[in-house]
C-alpha cells in the first residue's frame, strides 16, 4: 500500500478531487485527516514523507491524526467512510501476510501487537 493508493481511495470515497489543495473547508480538513491516519497506520512512511506528499508539514500530520478522532465522533458520514477505508487497508495487510513465506510467524506477530506497532513489525520482518 502506497501513499498514492491511500490518497486516491480517500479522494474517491469523500468525493474530493484533490486533498492536497490548500483549503480549510471542513470536508477537505477531515478528508486530509483520514488520509494522514490511514497513511500513518498502513505504511512505513514518516510523518514528514506523509506530509510532503500532500504539501503539509509533519506537525500538521500529527495534529490531523490527533483531531480526527474528535471529528469522527460528530460526523457520521465521515465515520462510515473512515471505517470502510480502514477495513479495506486492514484486508490489504492480511493479503501481505498471506503472501509472506512464514505465514504462521506473521499472523502471530500481527495478533500479539497493537495496530500502532504494525510499522515496527514490518521493519523487523523486512530485516529478516
128 has pLDDT over 50: no
**Which domains are present in the chain?**
3-127 (1.10.1750.10)
In whole angstroms, what is the distance from residue 128 CA to residue 30 CA?
38
Give the dihedral sign, CA 88/90/96/97.
negative
pLDDT tens-place string over residues 82-99: 777 777 777 766 666 566
State the Cα angle at 9 between 98 and 41, rounded to 5°.
55
pLDDT tens-place string over residues 13-24: 888 999 999 998
Amino acid at each position: 500500500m502506497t501513499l498514492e493508493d491511500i490518497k486516491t481511495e480517500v479522494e474517491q470515497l469523500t468525493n474530493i478531487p484533490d486533498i492536497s489543495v490548500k483549503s480549510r473547508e471542513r470536508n477537505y480538513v477531515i478528508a486530509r485527516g483520514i488520509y494522514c491516519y490511514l497513511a500513518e497506520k498502513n505504511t512505513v512512511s514518516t510523518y514528514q514523507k506523509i506530509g510532503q506528499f500532500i504539501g503539509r508539514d509533519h506537525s500538521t500530520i500529527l495534529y490531523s491524526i490527533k483531531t480526527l478522532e474528535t471529528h469522527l465522533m460528530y460526523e457520521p458520514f465521515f465515520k462510515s467512510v473512515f471505517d470502510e477505508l480502514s477495513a479495506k487497508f486492514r484486508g490489504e495487510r492480511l493479503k501481505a501476510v498471506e503472501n509472506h513465506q512464514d505465514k504462521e510467524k506473521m499472523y502471530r506477530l500481527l495478533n500479539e501487537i497493537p495496530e500502532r506497532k504494525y510499522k515496527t513489525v514490518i521493519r523487523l520482518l523486512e530485516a529478516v
